Structure 1
C-alpha cells in the first residue's frame, strides 16, 4: 500500500506545460487584441468552408455499414454517361425525420464523390405553396407520405414528400420514398445497374415449382429482392411441367446464358438422371449453389431418405452431406401457442450462427444466418477440387442421427462430450471450372422460414454478386448495423468478467478515496 501511495505522491505536471504561453510562442503580443480576434475568426470560417468540401468521415463499424461498398464505387466509376440524382424533399419534415434526412444526404453525396459522372441535386419545397414543383414530383411518381405526429393530447397527420429521381440518358427510375436508409444503397445501386445495362445476369432455379400467385410462392421474397439485380428464372423440369409443356419432349438443357444455377432439394423433388447429368455438365463451366439436406422433412415433419442423386453428385466436387440434423443452443424461437395466445420457445433444430470465414465479401452486411433443419456439410477434397468451410455452427452444437426427435418440448439435453462445431456451408473451387457452393438446408431462402433477425437473403445476394456478375455486385446489401453476438467463452472466463466489472471500478474509487484521506491527514499533520 505504501508503494501505491508513493506513486501518486510523485505524480506532478511538468513545469514546461505549466509555463506554456501561446500568445508569446506565436508572437501575437505585438498585435492588438481586436486584430487577433478578427484574424482568428477569419481562419476558423475559412477552415470550416474548406473542410466542408472534404469527406473526413471515418467508419469504424463492422462491415463498413456507413460506407458505400467497393462494388458500388467501382460500378459508378465505370458509368459511360451522366447519372443525375434529384432528391425531392418537402420543407415540412417533422423534427424526428431530420436525422434520417442527413443520413440520406450523406449516402447520396458518397455517390457524387465516387464518380464525376454522378451529380446530386436537392429540391426543397413547400407542397402547399410550390405547386409547380409538387406537380413535377407527382408526375415522376413521387407521392405524398402521410406521417402521424403526436404533440401532448393532439394527433396530427402531415403529408410529406421525400423521394429520389434517377435519370440516365432517356431512362428514368424513381424511388417514391427514400426514408429506408438501411436499404438505400441497395435500391439506388440496383436502379443504376438496371439502367446502365442492356440485360441483367441470368440466375436459374431448379427443384422448386414456379408459382403464378406471389402470395403462394415459396421463393417470393427472394425473387422480389434479387429480381432488381438479376434475371431470375425458374426452370420447369418435367416433374413440374403442365400437360401443355410435356407435349414437347426435347432433352432437358440449361440455357448457355445462365450465369448461376440454384439447385434446391425440395422434399417433393426427384431429379432424373438426365437432369443430374445436365447439372454436372453446367458445373464444369458455370457456378452452382446447392441447398440440400441429409435428412429431408416434408411439410408434416416426417423424415425421409435424402435425394441420393444430388448427394452423390456433390461428392464429385469434394462435398459430403451427412445424414444427420444439427441442433444448437443458439436457436430461433417458434410459436407453440394457439387459441389466441402465443408461447415462444427456442427450437434447437432451427440454428442460427455468425461463425463465418473471415475477410470475405460474401458476408458484407450479414450479421447472422439461420439454418432450418440443417445437416452437416463436410469438405473432402477430391478430383482436383479445393473445398473451404464458409459457415459453421457454434461450439454449443450437437447432432441427431438414426432416430430423430423434432418436438422442441421433447428434445433431450446433450451431454458435454456431444458438443462440437459442424460445418453447414462450404465452397468448392477448381481451376478452369465453375464455383460450387453447398448449403446444408433446403429451406435456407424459402419465404416461410426467413428469420427477421437473420440475413439469409443478403448472404445469397452477395454470393450471386460474386458468381453471376463476376464480382460487380458483390457486397451490395443493407446498411443496417447488425448486432454481432459476443464470442462464446468458457463459464470460468464469463465469471471472471462478471466479478471484474463488479469489483474493479468501485475498487479504483475506494483506493482513490483512501489516497485523498491519507493526503489530507498528512497535510494536517
Structure 2
C-alpha cells in the first residue's frame, strides 16, 4: 500500500468515526452562545459527588414545538453528563409506561392539555412537561415550561428554553448542597401575621431555612440579639407598622455591614382594602417608621404619596347593579393596585407574571458612591400621585376621563429597586457606633432590595385558610408576586452568579406555518427527488469521464 492510499484510508476512518458520533467536540457558532454552558454551571456540575438521575417526562407523540423543547433538554443533559459522568438522565413517556396521573401529581407535577391540529383534525394531548431529580435519597420535581400568562404558546416555549439551564442547574445546586442558607423574618413591628405571610414562608422554606427573629426582650432588637442575627444570611422585613428605634437601626446597620442581605417591603402610607370595601371611603395617612435617614444613606427615599396608575392596574370586583334582587358584579381597573410589568432586562423580573402592588408609594433614587441601583418595577407614563392625608374611595375606578384635560400625568414612579456594591455605614461618623462592639464602617460586596409596598408579600386568606401568594380570590387572577419574591431571595443569596442565566436571550427563528401547509408537498418531492438527481448526474459524469479516459 503506497503512501497516498494510507493517507486516504486514515481520512476515511476519521470521517466515518465522526459520522458515527465517536468525537464529541462541538463548536458553538450561535450568536447568543445557546449551546455553551456558563462557568457557574460547570462548577456546580463538577461538585456533584454522588450518582444523580434526572427523569424527564417529555417523551411521546406531541407537537413539533414540544419536540424542540425535548431536543434542547436532551442536548443540555448530555452536556451535563459529559462534564460529570455521575449525572445520568432518561426520557420517560408516562402514557406508554402507564403511569397514573395520581402518581405524577403526588410528585408535584400538573398535567398540561394541548390542542393540536394535524391534517385538518383537532385532537387533545395530555402531557407532563416536568423533570424529576433524584440524588442521595432526596428528590425534587421542576416544571420545564415557565408559568407566564398573556403570551403566545410559541413565545412561552422559547422563554422556557431560555430559562432551561438556570432551571436545571439551580435545582441541582439546591438538592446537592449539604446545608441551606438561613433567612430570618423580623417579628417585632406589627408586621404581617403568620396567615398573611404563609405563602411567602412556604416558598422560602423550599430552598432555605426560614424562621422568625423575635427580640429577646420582646420590645426591640438589642446587642443580645446579635449572635442569632450573625447566623442569618438574609433578613426579611415585611410591612412594619411600628417605628424602629435608633438602637435597632444600628443593629440592622451592622448586620448589613457584616455581609447580611436584606429584603425590605415597606409601607409609607396606611390604606387597607378590607376597610375600603366595608366603608367605600377611607382616610389614607402617612406611616412614620423612622427609617428615612437609614435609606437615605443608601441613596433612596421612600415617598408618602400614593401612586395611581391609570394604565397598568389590577382588577377588583365591585357590585355593578342588581337584577331581580340578585347583585351583579363586574371587574374594574383599580388605579391604587398598579401592576409591575418588567420593562428592563433583569434576572429578578424576567419571564414572570405581572406583580400586583397594593397602595404602593414611590421611590426616589439619589445615587451613592460604590452602589449600583437597578430599577425592578415602575409605573406607566399615565401616573398620578395622591398626597396624604387624603380620602380614597371606590368611586376612583379607572375610566376614560380619569385624567381631566387640565391635568397632566406624572412621570413613571419606581416601586422596587435592588442595590449592590460596598455599603458604607450610616453611623460611621456618629457617636452611636461606640455602643456596638467591633463596629464596622463599610461592608464587602453586598446586596439589598427595597420595595415601596408592604403588601407585595401578603397572601389573601379565605375562611381562615391562606391562599397561594399572588392568587386573587375575587378576580381569579394569579399574579407573579411569589415568583418575584422567590427570585429576589435567590438574587440576594446567589453566591454562584447563577441568576445571570435568567437574562439569557435566545432569538426565535420560527418557520412560516402557513407557507409550510401550502408548500408541504412541493418540498417533500423536492427533498426526495433532488438527491437522486444529483447522484444520477454525478454517476453519469463519472461514467463519461471513465469511458473517455480508458477508451
- TM-score, normalised to structure 2's length? 0.59
* Gap change, CA 1:230 and 1:336, over 3 Å in 2: same
Task: Give the corresponding residue for 2:490.
Answer: 465
Query: Gapped runs of 5+ residues in structure 1?
Result: 1-42, 212-216, 482-525
* Gap change, CA 1:389 and 1:274, over 3 Å in 2: same
Does structure 1 residue 443 correspond to structure 2 residue 455? yes
1:117 to 71, 84, 97: 84
Query: CA contact under 8 A between 2:240 and 2:267: conserved in structure 1?
Result: no
Aligned Cα RMSD in Å? 5.0
Aligned-residue offset at 1:435: 3.0
* Gap change, CA 1:148 and 1:288, over 3 Å in 2: closer
- Separation in 1 of the partners of 2:370 and 2:330? 47
User: 1:175-213: per-residue Cα shift (whole Å, max 9, x none)?
Assistant: 3987878597676444422332111222222253563xx
- Separation in 2 of the partners of 1:377 and 1:400? 15
Does structure 1 residue 326 correspond to structure 2 residue 294? no
SS at match of 1:444: coil
Task: Give the corresponding residue for 1:284.
Answer: 257
- Separation in 1 of the partners of 2:35 and 2:470? 26
SS at match of 1:336: strand
* Gap change, CA 1:73 and 1:83, over 3 Å in 2: farther
Mapping for residues 304-343 of structure 1, pairs under 5 Å: 304-328=285-309, 329-337=311-319, 341-343=328-330
Task: Give the corresponding residue for 1:255.
Answer: 229
User: 1:53-85: per-residue Cα shift (whole Å, max 9, x none)?
Assistant: 96979698xxx9x98995873454442425533
Task: Give the corresponding residue for 1:417.
Answer: 408
- Separation in 1 of the partners of 2:200 and 2:413? 26
Mapping for residues 333-372 of structure 1, pairs under 5 Å: 333-337=315-319, 341-354=328-341, 356-358=343-345, 360-366=346-352, 368-372=354-358
Query: CA contact under 8 A between 2:55 and 2:132: conserved in structure 1?
Result: yes
SS at match of 1:461: helix
Query: CA contact under 8 A between 1:84 and 1:120: conserved in structure 2?
Result: yes
* Gap change, CA 1:405 and 1:413, over 3 Å in 2: farther
Task: Give the corresponding residue for 2:518.
Answer: none
User: 1:22-76: per-residue Cα shift (whole Å, max 9, x none)?
Assistant: xxxxxxxxxxxxxxxxxxxxx9xx979799996979698xxx9x98995873454
Mapping for residues 226-241 of structure 1, pairs under 5 Å: 226-237=204-215
Aligned-residue offset at 1:249: 10
User: 1:226-275: per-residue Cα shift (whole Å, max 9, x none)?
Assistant: 33332222323579x6xxxx9x99833352132222222244x4444443
- Separation in 2 of the partners of 1:363 and 1:307? 29
User: 1:463-495: per-residue Cα shift (whole Å, max 9, x none)?
Assistant: 3333213254425669999xxxxxxxxxxxxxx
Mapping for residues 500-519 of structure 1, pairs under 5 Å: none
Query: Gapped runs of 5+ residues in structure 2?
Result: 1-14, 117-122, 147-156, 277-281, 321-325, 424-441, 461-468, 472-476, 507-551
Aligned-residue offset at 1:90: 9.7
- TM-score, normalised to structure 1's length? 0.62
Aligned-residue offset at 1:401: 0.5
1:106 to 72, 89, 98: 72
SS at match of 2:270: coil
Task: Give the corresponding residue for 1:17.
Answer: none
Aligned-residue offset at 1:378: 1.1
* Gap change, CA 1:176 and 1:316, over 3 Å in 2: closer
* Gap change, CA 1:409 and 1:83, over 3 Å in 2: farther
